[in-house]
Chain A
Amino acid sequence: MSALLKITNLEVDFQIKGIVVNSPLRGMNLEIKAGKTLGIVGETGCGKTLTATAVMGLLPSSAVQRGLIEFAEHGALKSDEMASLRGSEITMIFQNPQSAFNPIFTVGAQLKMVAQRRNIARAEIGSLLIQRLESVGLKDTKRILACYPHQLSGGMLQRCMIAMALISSPKLLIADEPTTALDATIGDQVLSLIVSLQKSEGFAMLFISHDVSAVAKVSDEIAVVYAGRIVETGPTRDVINSPQHPYTRGLLGAIPSADKTRGKLVAIPGNVPSDLTSLVGCAFADRCSQRVDKCAQEPVLKLLKNQSVACWEAG
């Protein structure tokens, strides 16, 4: 099965007047197949959201993008070509629903704007919106459509956002930290909702989060990002049960768990390197307990069984 979305060697620099000030993405490679979910996990600032922004073609003008983004039958796309796919074949849901909705328009008005953009017949928009809201588990839909964002709870608004994202029946849904701003129980409900919607609607999903457990729940495959590069990727079960990269192990070890007894929470010592532009060798080397001399050279992704790992010491 060929990939729906294929990203090859995506690099992004930020430049001011020709001088590179930051290199947040230093070579991202990933693939999503139709109807499947790829989870991207990593610390805040590792470049996960930026990847999504690049896929949507919404990088700021100070960004310089290199590499290939291929989507479905459209092939390789430049950022301006993405514009027509945005909001139609590729849609996105965001972390903070209260700030993602415009406070001075009703929820219904905003959903309507999206529907109108997709050239859906005016007469059908009303029923389409109600149907969409019902499909995300909301009742009393007429009232919700007439509400302003601040009148709805976080969970309800997030469901509205999911409904908005599915108006155009997208092929790919990008979910950027959708449950991070929600209470744990609400977040779980939303996650289950997303999973069941995926089954019924059949879209592929790029699920981004720093919360490994959330990612694990919804993803078929996981990609672990560190300092702008993928350090490990593979089927969810394999990566969770036998993580190959020291960073992945650290991430998994840092999760508090009610059912397993562990001695203590293991925090990964050190910090993410701040200056990625002049980085040489493995970005994780400074914090790695398994560092060897070879780590002065940037590791390449090598395939071990089902997983790919970027580490000299793996396998």
Chain B
Amino acid sequence: MKILWKRLSSALLVLLAASFVTFTLARVIPSDPALAYIGPKATEADSAQLRITLGLDQPIPVQYFKYIGQTLQGNWGYSLSSKQPVLQEIADRLPSTLELIFFAMGFALIFGVAMGVYAAKYRGRLQDSVIRLLSIAGVSMPAFWLGLLLQMLFAGRLTWFPATGQFDIELKYDNPITKITGFPIFDSIITGNFAATMNGLHHMILPALTLSAYSFGLISRMARANLLEVMSQDYIKVARAYGLSERLIFFKLALRNALPPILTITGLSTAYLITGTFFVEQVYNWPGIGSFAVNSLISIDYPAIMGITLLAAIGYLVINFIVDLIHAKLDPRVWMR
């Protein structure tokens, strides 16, 4: 329990520091927000006025504390491009991205663990080599390129899947999804709107696959290496010496021993998933945080950028925290020190 509090407090500290970093980057590095806000027609007077309005004339530490205070109260500023509250923009878009990440992570875990285990079982043979090639290709592929390729092949040439968007445009009229939780596919399931669910899944497959490639590579490599290491441990040999069946040894013992590092790498790869959405959503026109982030970056919408960075840092920390919890549950050595 003590360890949990320790982790929590260090996570909060990191969050604080992260906010500081973003804040510093936004304020200290020269770039005129007034220009971005008003547009090229901004005059000197307009700029000066805007600076006062936005509180940019105050000393930096004051600005920072104001920023922290506002953030904690839920005021994450206003997007310079859309003039909407940043938190609102994020809240609108987050569910779509989360669903995308969910499916991508699902693909990566299932395929990654399955193939890693399979490769370990057939170590040294053709299956092993093929899977290892796939894994290393996964971590070497530019996400945007893979996205474009899949788009061209499966949406352009083969028309099996739609090229862009989260749902067919007609869906809004034919089978609109009642918003309950805000998560489109989830909502469509719980309201029984299965036409929408199928449509959503149909649109989801290519982006999710694209996003999953990097994590898949990481996870399958880790799964394979780890399983091999576990299988060579003494306690496995002892289990065999006591006549336990190979199936029991493999599924119950070896896998459970191999799981913790796989979890860790899953947590780590979430980071890549987060930044991966930037590119995947761009390519597939996905209405999520990723495309919002890229647009904000290009238009130097610094309140939005700060909000997204903070969000990403929070998300990353939360995921790692959960991973640590599960890790501790699976491996008693962790918390018994």
Direct A–B contact in complex, judged by CB atoms less than 8 Å apart: yes
Residues of A bordering B, CB below 8 Å: 56, 58, 83-84, 86-88, 91-92, 94, 96, 99-105, 113-114, 117, 148, 150-151, 164
Check if B238 sits within 8 Å of A117, measured CB to CB.
Answer: no
Residue of A nearest to B244 (CB): A117
Check if A87 sits within 8 Å of B257, measured CB to CB.
Answer: no
Check if B253 sits within 8 Å of A102, measured CB to CB.
Answer: yes
Give Cα A28–Cα B298 distance, bound, in whole angstroms. Answer: 78
Check if B256 sits within 8 Å of A58, measured CB to CB.
Answer: no
Hey, which chain A residues are within 8 Å of B239, CB to CB?
A: 102, 113
Hey, which chain A residues are within 8 Å of B331, CB to CB?
A: 103-104
Task: Give the distance to chain A from B184, nearest Cβ to Cβ, in Å.
Answer: 39
Give Cα A101–Cα B257 distance, bound, in whole angstroms. Answer: 12
Task: Give the distance to chain B from A151, nearest Cβ to Cβ, in Å.
Answer: 7
Task: Give the distance to chain A from B288, nearest Cβ to Cβ, in Å.
Answer: 38
The verdict on B169 contacting chain A, using a C-beta distance below 8 Å, is no
Check if A148 sits within 8 Å of B235, measured CB to CB.
Answer: no
Hey, which chain A residues are within 8 Å of B233, CB to CB?
A: 99
Given A99-B233, A148-B332, A151-B336, A104-B257 contact (CB < 8 Å): yes
Give Cα A96–Cα B237 distance, bound, in whole angstroms. Answer: 12
Give Cα A192–Cα B233 distance, bound, in whole angstroms. Answer: 29
Give Cα A100–Cα B253 distance, bound, in whole angstroms. Answer: 13
Residue of A nearest to B253 (CB): A102
Check if A56 sits within 8 Å of B241, measured CB to CB.
Answer: yes
Give Cα A101–Cα B243 distance, bound, in whole angstroms. Answer: 15
Check if B235 sits within 8 Å of A164, measured CB to CB.
Answer: no
The verdict on B330 contacting chain A, using a C-beta distance below 8 Å, is yes
The residue that A84 contacts in the complex, of B243, B248, B257, with Cβ under 8 A, is B243
Check if A87 sits within 8 Å of B234, measured CB to CB.
Answer: no
Give Cα A104–Cα B238 distance, bound, in whole angstroms. Answer: 15
Hey, which chain B residues are within 8 Å of A83, CB to CB?
A: 243
Give Cα A117–Cα B242 distance, bound, in whole angstroms. Answer: 9
Task: Give the distance to chain A from B22, nearest Cβ to Cβ, in Å.
Answer: 40
The verdict on B41 contacting chain A, using a C-beta distance below 8 Å, is no
What are 8 inter-chain pairs, A to B, with CB distance below 8 A? A86-B242, A99-B234, A102-B235, A102-B257, A104-B257, A113-B239, A148-B333, A150-B336
Task: Give the distance to chain A from B291, nearest Cβ to Cβ, in Å.
Answer: 42
Residue of B nearest to A91 (CB): B242
Check if B235 sits within 8 Å of A99, measured CB to CB.
Answer: yes
Hey, which chain B residues are within 8 Å of A150, CB to CB?
A: 333, 336
Give Cα A155–Cα B336 distance, bound, in whole angstroms. Answer: 20
For window 226-250 of B, CB contacts with A under 8 Å fall at 233-235, 237-245, 248
Check if A87 sits within 8 Å of B237, measured CB to CB.
Answer: no
For window 201-239 of B, CB contacts with A under 8 Å fall at 233-235, 237-239
Check if B235 sits within 8 Å of A86, measured CB to CB.
Answer: no
Check if A114 sits within 8 Å of B242, measured CB to CB.
Answer: yes
The residue that B243 contacts in the complex, of A103, A105, A117, with Cβ under 8 A, is A117
Check if A92 sits within 8 Å of B336, measured CB to CB.
Answer: no
Task: Give the distance to chain B from A100, nearest Cβ to Cβ, in Å.
Answer: 5
Residue of A nearest to B240 (CB): A58
Task: Give the distance to chain A from B244, nearest Cβ to Cβ, in Å.
Answer: 6
Hey, which chain A residues are within 8 Å of B241, CB to CB?
A: 56, 58, 86-87, 91-92
Give Cα A117–Cα B237 distance, bound, in whole angstroms. Answer: 16
Check if B240 sits within 8 Å of A100, measured CB to CB.
Answer: no
Task: Give the distance to chain A from B57, nearest Cβ to Cβ, in Å.
Answer: 59
Hey, which chain A residues are within 8 Å of B332, CB to CB?
A: 103-104, 148
Give Cα A18–Cα B227 distance, bound, in whole angstroms. Answer: 28
Task: Give the distance to chain A from B336, nearest Cβ to Cβ, in Å.
Answer: 7
The residue that A58 contacts in the complex, of B237, B248, B257, B330, with Cβ under 8 A, is B237
Hey, which chain B residues are within 8 Å of A105, CB to CB?
A: 253
Give Cα A117–Cα B245 distance, bound, in whole angstroms. Answer: 9
Task: Give the distance to chain A from B129, nearest Cβ to Cβ, in Å.
Answer: 18
Give Cα A99–Cα B234 distance, bound, in whole angstroms. Answer: 6
Check if B336 sits within 8 Å of A88, measured CB to CB.
Answer: no
For window 257-271 of B, CB contacts with A under 8 Å fall at 257
Residue of B nearest to A100 (CB): B238
Given A100-B234, A101-B235, A86-B257 contact (CB < 8 Å): no
Given A86-B242, A86-B243, A104-B336 contact (CB < 8 Å): no
Task: Give the distance to chain B from A119, nearest Cβ to Cβ, in Å.
Answer: 11
Hey, which chain A residues are within 8 Å of B248, CB to CB?
A: 113
Check if A104 sits within 8 Å of B242, measured CB to CB.
Answer: no
Task: Give the distance to chain B from A300, nearest Cβ to Cβ, in Å.
Answer: 33
Per CB-CB distance, the 9 closest pairs between chain A and chain B, nearest first, are A87-B243, A87-B242, A99-B234, A86-B243, A102-B235, A100-B238, A92-B241, A114-B242, A148-B332
Task: Give the distance to chain A from B125, nearest Cβ to Cβ, in Å.
Answer: 13
Give Cα A47–Cα B243 distance, bound, in whole angstroms. Answer: 23
For window 120-155 of B, CB contacts with A under 8 Å fall at none
Hey, which chain A residues are within 8 Å of B333, CB to CB?
A: 103-104, 148, 150
Check if B244 sits within 8 Å of A113, measured CB to CB.
Answer: yes
Give Cα A113–Cα B249 distance, bound, in whole angstroms. Answer: 11
The residue that B235 contacts in the complex, of A87, A92, A103, A117, with Cβ under 8 A, is A103
Task: Give the distance to chain A from B235, nearest Cβ to Cβ, in Å.
Answer: 4
Task: Give the distance to chain A from B248, nearest Cβ to Cβ, in Å.
Answer: 8
Given A83-B243, A87-B241, A91-B241, 15 additional A-B pairs, CB 8 A = A58-B237, A58-B240, A58-B241, A94-B234, A94-B238, A99-B233, A103-B257, A105-B253, A113-B244, A117-B242, A148-B333, A148-B336, A150-B333, A150-B336, A151-B336
Render B295-337 as a binary contact track against A, CB cut-off 8 A, 1 for contact.
Answer: 0000000000000000000000000000000000011110010
Given A148-B332, A148-B333, A151-B336, A100-B235 contact (CB < 8 Å): yes
Hey, which chain B residues are within 8 Å of A114, CB to CB?
A: 242, 244
